[in-house]
Amino acid sequence: MIKKMLIIAAMVFMVFSLFGCNTTANDRDGKIGIRGTVTEISPDGEYGAILVEGKVEEDTDYDKASVRVTKDTLIQKDALSKLHEFSDVKVGDMVEVIFDGPVAESYPVQGTAGIIRIITAKK
């Protein structure tokens, strides 16, 4: 009897663990998650995270996002075919972020960038 109760309790815990953190699988077909200004950069070795703040527009979903940048993130600027580095992103740059994978619906949202497009670089 105790063994059955422990199994049921473990199953209930697993269900709450899976659904307790509200995430959304933001549209991954090239939809821009956020367009805005880079207000903070948190390097972590060669990569890190950026905080982007903007406005929700017709073609975007969020006004503020904490964006993880990984080795798989494509960073584009000017000639879109040229690859850029995380160190090319500066506070004050206007960027567009296309998320890769689920986005945690905290505030600000948190997700990993698939693509970061630097629209205008801070001079």
Residue 74 is part of which domain span?
25-120
Collapsing DSSP to helix, strand or coil, 85 comes out as coil
CATH of the domain at 40: 2.40.50
**36 part of a folded domain:** yes
**18 part of a folded domain:** no
In which residue are the tokens 């975007």 written?
60
**111 part of a folded domain:** yes
**29 part of a folded domain:** yes
Per-residue pLDDT tens digits for 11-24: 655 544 444 343 33
- In the chain, how many domains are there? 1
**54 part of a folded domain:** yes
| Residue 65 · residue 110 · CB < 8 Å | yes
Per-residue pLDDT tens digits for 90-122: 999 999 999 999 999 899 999 999 999 999 877
pTM of this structure:
0.74
Residues 6 or more apart whose Cβ sits within 8 Å of residue 61: 26, 31, 32, 33, 34
Task: Note the pLDDT of residue 118.
Answer: 93
**76 part of a folded domain:** yes
Task: Note the pLDDT of residue 17.
Answer: 44
Per-residue pLDDT tens digits for 59-97: 999 999 999 999 999 999 876 666 788 999 999 999 999
Per-residue pLDDT tens digits for 31-51: 999 999 999 999 998 899 999
Collapsing DSSP to helix, strand or coil, 87 comes out as helix
